[in-house]
Amino acid sequence: MTQKFIIDKEIAMHTKIQQYSGMHTRLSGRTRRAVAIAAILAVTGLVTSCGSGGHGHENSAVPTNARTISVTADGLAFSPDRMTARVGEALSIELTSVDIAHDLNVDAFDGHVYAEAGQTAEGGFTASSAGEFDYYCSIPGHREAGMEGTLVVEE
Ligand SMILES: [Cu+2]
Q: How far apart are CA 114 and CA 150, in angstroms?
A: 18
Q: Does the pTM exceed 0.85?
A: no
91 contacts: CB under 8 Å, gap ≥ 6: 66, 67, 68, 69, 85, 111, 124, 125, 126, 127
CA 103, 109, 110, 113 torsion: positive or negative?
negative
Q: Does the pLDDT value for residue 55 go beyond 80?
A: no
SS3 call for 12: helix
- CA 58 to centroid of ligand 1, rounded, Å: 15
> pLDDT tens, 19-48?
444 344 344 445 444 434 344 334 333 434
Each as own residue / partner, the long-range contacts of residues 9-17 (CB below 8 Å, 24 or more positions apart, any chain) are: 9/47, 9/54, 10/47, 13/43, 16/43, 17/43
Q: What is the DSSP string of 49-80?
A: HT-TT-STTPPPPPPTTPEEEEEEEETTEEES
- CA 90 to centroid of ligand 1, rounded, Å: 24
Of the chain, the end-to-end C-alpha distance in Å amounts to 25
Angle at 32 (CA atoms; ends 28, 34), nearest 5 degrees: 120
136 contacts: CB under 8 Å, gap ≥ 6: 104, 105, 142, 143, 147, 148, 149
pLDDT of the residue at 56: 63
pLDDT of the residue at 57: 77
Residue 133: strand pairing partners: 151
- CA 8 to centroid of ligand 1, rounded, Å: 25
- CA 132 to centroid of ligand 1, rounded, Å: 21
> pLDDT tens, 59-118?
999 999 999 999 999 999 999 999 999 999 999 999 999 999 999 999 999 999 999 999
